[in-house]
Chains A and B, each alone.
Chain A
Amino acid sequence: MSGIERKTVLPGVNLSCVYTDKFKNGLFSAYLMRSLNADDASKNAMLADVLRRGCTSLPDMETIEARLDELYGASVSAVMRQIGETTAVGFSSFFADDRYIGRSEKILESVLSVTGQLLLDPVTRGGMLNSEYVSSEKDNLCDRIRAAVNDKRRYAVTRLRELMCADESYGVNPLGSLEKADKINHVGLTRHYRHVLEHSPLELFYCGGAEPERVEAAVLDAFAAVPRGDTERCDTEVRIDCGQTRTVKEKMDVAQGNLAIGFRLGEIMYNPDYAALSVFSAVFGGSPVSKLFLNVRERMSLCYSVGSSVDRHKGVMIVSAGISPSKYDAATEEIFNQLDKCRRGEITEEELEAARKYVASSLREGADEASVLDSYWLARRMDGTDCTPEELAALAECVSAEKVTEIAESVKTDMIYFLSGEESAE
């Protein structure tokens, strides 16, 4: 299972289907693909929320939710995902498979129809999006931008991205800025919506027990009205080099220190080996068998949490750690020390094998969750491969220590960011 059937069902509209009978629910998602940029970020971030407020046949939340309750608690959520410097904006729906409801209801067709209407046929007045909906979702967006500071660890990573990639799209906050958000009105957002709908690639995904033919028919029915012009490409710029390592320290009233370190993956991004990148990440910091977890946290107790994540599209790796401010020097030193060990090839056979197993079983276990498959296959659309989780798992099981070392050698430190309390010493 987990093979994918891909088909271009309408110009610029691609349907990907994972057909499996192992789930008792179906998942369907529809994403408009946009380039991340400072001018449009806030508009993209609120677009699906505005559309989710009402369509012609279900003009307000109450009628939408009542319809979804009727469909056995189907959910249709406004979703925004980031893949490198691409923003995917749209809806993700999760719903019961007809077979287990025991009545002859066509839940799949009904849910796709609701999703299609929300995306294509919003409530309008004089051809414009409802100004009340726009204004209230603008307020919500501003609240979300302000609330970003509530989660300190994530906030530190966001600040690192903004500072490290100040002149790249990657540095743009996907929610945009308060300044830009504040200028949005229903006229401008309507114009943006019409443009986006006509010119964005539309990626559709289904996972569940309905045959692809049935899904395709439901899609053609629900999305027939999508306007199609030339589609605009979404690309991610990869920077191989960076200058000297920069350090930025900021203060806030927090009990714990939050450290975020940004790296460029370097030359290996000319010809990235995704299986090897995953295993490198698991060896260094992206798993509970990693050097960072076992040494910085477990052996030396320098932090409560530490982990690294690799963005394979952008070629950036970020290490994030929650530390006591007094441990700043010791923790950063040890993080770099562990990276140096990877560079010198000081990776034991046990560490390597554990990392390979971790990557392989994470991929295989991910295939048991429809939402994981949704993001997995959307990301594969962006890197243009059809490698299944099982195939990638098999490749990961064969990654050599040399390959991992080669990646570690290619990695360059770009920026160290530290967020800590007012009272802590420099």
Chain B
Amino acid sequence: MREIRYEKLDETLWRSELDNGLSIYVLPKKGFNKKYAFFAADYGGCDMRFRVDGKWVETPAGIAHYLEHKMFDMPYGSAMNRLTENGASPNAFTSHGITGYLFSCTDGFETNLRTLLEYVSTPYFTEESVEKERGIIGQEIRMGEDNPSRAVMTGLLRALYRTHPVREQIAGTLDSIARIDAGTLYTCHEKFYNPANMVLCCSGDVEPQTVEDIAAEMITAPRGERYVRDYGETDGLLPDRIKEIREMPVGIPLFAAGSKMEYVPGREWTRRLITAQLGCDLLMGASSPLYAEMYAAGLINGSFYSGIMDFPEGAAAVAGGMCAQPGEVMARICTAAEALEPGQNERSRFDRLKKAMMGGLLAGLDSPEELCHSHAERHFDGVLPLEQMDVVEGIGAEEAVSLVKELFAAERMAMSEIVPPGGEA
């Protein structure tokens, strides 16, 4: 394994790539009891349409998430149970971009790591077991439907995008999952769970060489292909629709307002995401005059947030929270964005915000989970977390101001609202 030392942060990253293309990152944390492993595929809720041998293959919404649920089935029974019986806390999740399988433990790490690598590499589905899962996932989908915070974000993404698959719920719908069977799951596992499309990250009280040895022993599949996916047409930066309203039994209305951010591949993507976040902080973060003014006027409360939500080949700049007058809040944000200039005051605020962001990156170093998740995500697209300090250092107030002015220009905004039935709180 190759050792990369980050002297200022007192961190060491070990990385390697096996001959079959599997990438491995290990970040030992001395003094920790926890041993954490995260095995992820570059395959998430947005990966519904992909090209195989020149032909586009369509799969139903929710397929990556359904696959995640079924991966725990093994010929010997449940991998989940095997891990918990051996003292591990296993879990898995599907985001827009990746599917991650993980466990933490204090003892039995090597056995648990073998179990993890084995079950994620072993598709074992029967029509009967796939059928049984449909009810459980159906309940999960319905539970998500009752969640107003999720609904308000989905509403915004649907208003912004006409074709990007981020419009769909990661878990799919009752209709879309009805079209999933064992055959679909086998196909998707074969296409996306190959070593070249996967990454293993470990952190905590772990030995780098042990991790690499076990991975080499367990992951013997040949290097597979990286299939091209379809993330919709590039339908410009204007929203598809400007407003999306839904009624739900909420005590206080919720809103999310935002715009689309233009995608650029590679390292520049991370830089742009960070620049946009700093721009949002400058415009309407907790230390901005706009935030103070809106809070004092009772327009927003502690639930107000602003920032960047990213997904495969795209991101949205978002402001939202619980609020009775979202139209007024959005108008004030757009007006303030238009008026924002990188004057002396803004520059000194910007320097403070950069300090704050570096503190935020430092905070992430105390969490093996966060270290592993962020390394996995950025491995597939962007700048590795420990190198982001330098990225932050190099960003200037001018570029952040000009980006956030674009992102919160009135014509680019869409608004999603969740209101109580009848429209009154």
Contact = CB atoms under 8 A, between A and B. Distances in A.
Contact of A256 (B88, B90, B146): B146
B9 A100 contact: yes
Contacts of B204: 368
A69 B145 contact: no
Interface in B199-230: 204
A75 to B, nearest CB: 9
B90 A68 contact: no
Interface stretch (A135-143, A185-193, A241-249): A135-143
Interface in A326-368: 350, 353-354, 357-358, 360-362, 364-365, 367-368
A25 B366 contact: yes
Given A140-B301, A297-B136, A370-B366, A70 B352 contact: yes
Contact of B31 (A21, A136, A143, A146): A21
B359 A22 contact: no
Interface residues of B, number: 70
Contact of A289 (B84, B147, B289): B84
B370 to A, nearest CB: 11
A100 B8 contact: yes
B413 interface: no
B33 to A, nearest CB: 4
Interface string B268-302: 00000000000000000111110110011010011
A49 interface: yes
B148 interface: yes
Interface in B104-159: 104-107, 132, 135-136, 139-140, 142-143, 145-149
Interface string B19-41: 00000000001111110000000
B231 to A, nearest CB: 29
A22 B365 CA distance: 10
Interface stretch (B183-191, B246-254, B258-266, B404-412): B246-254
Interface in A264-292: 287-289
A94 B287 contact: no
Contacts of A423: none
B366 A66 contact: no
A95 B356 CA distance: 10
A254 interface: yes
B337 interface: no
A323 to B, nearest CB: 8
Interface string B74-108: 00001011001111111000000000000011110
Interface string B342-372: 0000000100110111111011011110000
B287 A62 contact: yes
A151 B249 CA distance: 10
Contacts of B352: 66, 69-70
B425 interface: yes
Contact of A304 (B31, B32, B132, B140): B140
Given A72-B362, A288-B80, A364 B34 contact: yes
Nearest to A107: B359
Contacts of A177: none
B286 A143 contact: no
Nearest to A254: B146
A73 interface: yes
Contacts of B251: 143, 145-150
Given A95-B359, A322-B143, A368-B204, A136 B132 contact: no
A404 interface: no
Nearest to B418: A150
Interface residues of A, number: 72
Given A22-B29, A102-B8, A322-B143, A304 B136 contact: yes
Contact of B362 (A1, A24, A364): A24
Contacts of B89: 288, 358, 361-362, 365
Contact of A361 (B106, B301, B302, B355): B106
B252 A254 contact: no
Given A68-B287, A148-B251, A100 B139 contact: no
Nearest to A99: B10
Contacts of A358: 84, 87, 89
B322 interface: yes
A253 interface: yes
B146 A368 contact: no
A22 B32 contact: yes
Q: Which of B33, B107, B149 has the largest number of chain A CB atoms within 10 A?
A: B33
B286 A73 contact: no
B136 A73 contact: no
A288 B84 contact: yes
B32 A368 contact: yes
Q: Which of B148, B287, B365 has the largest number of chain A CB atoms within 10 A?
A: B287
A287 B89 CA distance: 9
Contact of B250 (A96, A136, A150): A150
Contact of A324 (B31, B33, B139): B139
A49 B302 contact: yes
A65 B31 CA distance: 33
8 contacts: A65-B287, A68-B287, A97-B362, A304-B139, A322-B139, A357-B86, A360-B106, A370-B366
List the 6 closest A-B pairs by CB distance, nearest first: A22-B31, A73-B356, A73-B359, A65-B287, A146-B251, A72-B359
